[in-house]
Homo-oligomer: A and B are copies of this chain.
């Protein structure tokens, strides 16, 4: 399948392909142009309230799109009624007591009646929106900040932020306006300007995701903005060293049936 065919594919077609095990690599900017991407975190029912509370208290890094009932792998209420979260992402990560034990392409054998799945908004959706309105930027990468999340139960830790650079202030203003309309994709930036103000000392060394090859660093006259990133809830869930948790593998996203633009708040 060529590049344009993948971009023109519907979310349902892609999920079906992933379900059949025919796509196991990352989806970043490659699949179903314009459709919402979502981060996945699956936790046992006994910590589901505290994890949902953590997300409620930290909507910038953890914008909840859908939460399933315990044992139900279908995110039927809000997105993609036919989807099966056990099979429809290209690759997963399974953790026991904070240790990675498997990176399977489906999680059927790990599924349990007490598991609750959280789908959370993703900046990849927001990047489709920026692309659609001709706002260009350079993604520098994801960084741990000195800004703490509001804790809930065992869940705590810093906000992880993605750094984007805009060639001029006009583009940055437009990006701030557009992102403000999309709270389900991390909303407005959490910071404009000096990285040191949020505890980031070296933009050349992202802590989490980094593009390959690395993006050109900010130059004088450019505007730097930071958005809360979907890596945050995963980092927070892992540090809690839960007995059992499943996430998607970074970049191997769930793709829902709504266009990112459809989710604009106003």
> Which of A11-19, A25-33, A52-60 is found at the contact surface with chain B?
A52-60
Contact status B52-A77, CB under 8 Å: no
* A67 x B56 contact (CB < 8 A): yes
A183 on the interface (CB 8 Å rule)? yes
Per the bound structure, the CA–CA distance linking A217 and B177 in Å amounts to 39
In this assembly, does A78 line the interface, its C-beta being within 8 Å of a C-beta of chain B?
yes
**CB < 8 Å neighbour of A77 from B49, B150, B177:** B150
Q: Which B residues lie within 8 Å of A53 (CB)?
A: 52, 67, 69
Distance of A256 from chain B, by nearest CB (Å): 15
- The contact size tier of chain A is 20 to 34
One complex includes copies of this chain to the number of 2
| Residues of B close to A78: CB separation below 8 A | 57, 150
Taking a contact as CB atoms under 8 Å apart, the answer to whether A265 and B69 are in contact is no
* A69 engages B152 (CB within 8 Å): yes
A180 at the interface (CB under 8 A from B): yes
A255 at the interface (CB under 8 A from B): no
A217–B48 Cα gap in the complex (Å)?
A: 46
Contacts of A67 in B (CB 8 A): 53, 56-57
Complex Cα distance A52/B50, Å? 10
The 8 A CB mask of A103-140 against B (1 = contact, 0 = none) is 00000000000000000000000000000000000000
The residues of A with any CB-CB pair to B shorter than 8 Å are 45, 48-49, 52-53, 56-57, 64, 67, 69, 77-78, 150, 152-153, 177, 180-181, 183, 187-188, 265-266
When A and B form their complex, which 5 residue pairs have the shortest distance between CB atoms, in order from nearest?
A49-B49, A180-B266, A77-B150, A52-B52, A48-B49
Given A48-B49, A181-B266, A187-B265, 13 further pairs, Cβ under 8 A: A45-B49, A52-B52, A53-B69, A56-B56, A56-B64, A57-B67, A57-B77, A69-B153, A77-B150, A78-B150, A180-B266, A183-B265, A265-B265
